[in-house]
Amino acid sequence: MKKTKSTLDQKKRQYKRRKNRSNTKVKNKNKGRVRLLANKSNVYSYAYLIDPNGDVLCEVNDKDLKKGTKVQRAKKVGERIAKKAEKLDVEKVCFDRNGFQYHGRIKAIAQWARDWGLDF
């Protein structure tokens, strides 16, 4: 039991380090830009557009999608957030992966948002 707990603690520490490192880079290098924040839970994927003041401009999730794998549904999230950004006249964004590693669903959201017209 102790080994399992220490493994979970190590995973939490790694996540916090990644999140601090990525947030510092996003906030310091891209001041004045809208952030595209990608988030995920065990079941769903989320994407938010956040203005420089910290207000959420729009939010998209895949709770209404029933078909497809998690990555396929994340692609739809990337497509939807790009379409909403276009309606809000947002062209350039800064991608914030929120401490998650850049693979799987997070990568799918980013790539499809790029393909649908957002400039990172």
Please state, in angstroms and rounded to a whole number, the distance separating the CA atoms of residues 85 and 80. Answer: 9
CA distances from 103 to 25, 71, 90, 108, 115 (A): 19, 10, 25, 8, 17
22-39 confidence digits (pLDDT tens)? 777 777 777 788 999 999
- Would you say 77 and 60 are in contact if contact means Cβ atoms under 8 Å apart? yes
Q: Which CATH architecture has domain 2-115?
A: 2-Layer Sandwich (3.30)
pLDDT-derived band at 21, boundaries 50, 70, 90: confident
55-96 confidence digits (pLDDT tens)? 999 999 999 998 999 999 999 999 999 999 999 999 899 898
Please state, in angstroms and rounded to a whole number, the distance separating the CA atoms of residues 71 and 69. Answer: 5
Q: What is the pTM of this model?
A: 0.82
Higher pLDDT among residues 43 and 4, named by residue: 43
**Domain limits, the chain:** 2-115
Question: Which tokens in the block code for residue 32?
Answer: 């004045």
Radius of gyration of the chain (CA): 15
